[in-house]
Structures are given as C-alpha cells and as structure tokens.
Structure 1
Amino acid sequence: MKLAIDVYYHNTTAKAVGVLFDDWQAATPTQIISTDVDDVADYEPGNFYKRELPCILKLLEQIDLTTLDVIVVDGYVHLNDDGKAGLGAHLFEALGGKIPVVGVAKTSFHNNTRNVVPVLRSSKNPLFVTAIGTALPAAAASVQNMHGPFRMPTLLKVLDQETRR
C-alpha cells in the first residue's frame, strides 16, 4: 500500500489528510483518512518539518504502518546538494528508516541539483522529486507514471482537494 500525505493550515490548527492507493498508476484512492491537529507550531523558515511532522505522525496513528511500502509527502526529502534534511528525511528518521519516503515539490530550491530529479508531466514546469529509502531514479519514474494527464498526478490533486475541505 502507498500513502500520499498533505497538511492544510488555518491559524494554529491543521488538517492532515492521507490518500491510500495500491498502485502508482491508480486513478482513485483505496481510502482517504484525515485528522485535525490543534496547537500547530508556527512556521519556521528552513525548518518546515517542525510544523508539519507532528501532524503527519498523528495521521499515521490511524494506519498499520507494516502495510505501507512508501509514503509520498508534499515537499522535499533533502533540501540541498549537501543533503540537508527536509520533511521527508525527518519523517523517514521518525519511522526508524523502515518506510521509504518520496518527496514531490512544485518549486525548486536553488542549491538542490544532486538530490532531486525534475519530472515533466504534460507541462513545461516540472515537479521536483526527492527520495530516501528507495532509489531516486525509481521514485522519479513512479511519479512520472502516476495517473493523470496534467502536471499534478490525479491522486495528488485529490489529496490537495481533500485537505482544503
């Protein structure tokens, strides 16, 4: 099972949503889960994970983690060429390095070329894929082949819509 996660913030609260799916090419989720989080930390530039990671970990309490073979996050695993840990790396560490994490970001970081693969999907604007616990080229190919004709794969669009409800 695969899980894509996103978090939507409103002042000091957040809604974490997960879309479970069986196959990278799936057009519809197997299940959608969500949780509300109170007293969310303030955004801290360069340390976004401090705000988002607790929300993700609370959402993961609803899942048997042994059923997951990958988690997809909205963001980066590594933030730069030196391997500075981003949200995905912190999540991987929090889970004891047992579940691979793939990061899918919509914008690039200026000093991140070695740890990222730009993925073009029917657009001149790429998605930026990073990974830990799995080979980066394979992760990029999986995102490239996700269902949907547009830049953003269908399931990641569903996820985004669910977080805003």
Structure 2
Amino acid sequence: MLRQLNLTREISRWIFMPWQRGAAGTASAEPPALPINDVIVDYDGPDLPLPEYPQRPNEPLEIRKQRLVYQSRKRGMLENDLLLSTFAAKYLKNFNEEQTAIYDQLINGVSNDWDIYYWATDVKTTPAEYNTEIMQLLKEHVKNTERVQRFRQPDLT
C-alpha cells in the first residue's frame, strides 16, 4: 500500500508540477516507471466479481428485523434512506420470516443502491430475481398515494 502511495505521489508530481521536472533534487524529467508486477484494475468492466452477501441462517427474526431497520436507515444516499426507512417503519414489523428474508436479500444483495432506487421508482425494469412481492410493496410505497410528507426518517421505537 505504501509503495502504491509513493508511486501515485511521484506520478502526480510529474503530471501536475511540470516546473519541477528535471530540477536538482526533485522529480526526474521522465515519468516514473510502473513496476512490472503491478496490475491496473478496470473497475467499470463487466467482469468484476461482486462479493456474495453473507447469509445468517441462525439469526433470530427479531434481531434480523432490528438489523434491517438500521440498514434501511443507513444506505449512503438520502433518497434510499428516506424511502427504505419509512418503508421499514410501516411494513417490516408485520413481515413473516420469508418476507423478511426477501427484504434482506433486496437491500443487501444488490451492490448498487441506485439500482434499488431506479427499480422502486420504475425508472428501470426490475430484474426477475428482485421482482418479488416485497418489491411490489416498495413500489406502491414509493408512489405515496396517501401523500405522506417524508422529509425525515421516522423515529426509532
């Protein structure tokens, strides 16, 4: 890690501070050479393996629901924080074990929160594996036919 940091610093100096190239005691006139064994990873490639979500087979239902309430509130993007926290506050307490597992897989199995947001708002088509009764319930919740104001997350009880 330190080696990568030093290499990045050298490359940055060479690119962004050209007036220092070749000056005595500073960066050289040539760009630093990349070590042969370093591999540059393209994170936008379609072949990037996604980590599997760890299953918790022995987790009690009430503990799982508490975890899902927390995870619904802390998504990393405000849009999903509001949608999922209000959804969880309204529906999660009445879910049975199977529905809770489906909701768990929905919010934790998808690697990108924007996917959940686009599926719930019908901007993108929901893939078959996530097009469940819980997703349909979430889509109805997002439509907000009751015109409930959702400016903040519900209080924890």
TM-score range, shorter chain: under 0.3
Structure having greater relative contact order (Cα 8 Å, sep ≥ 6): 1
* TM-score normalised by length of structure 1: 0.23
Q: TM-score, normalised by structure 2?
A: 0.24
In terms of fraction of residues, the more strand-rich structure is 1
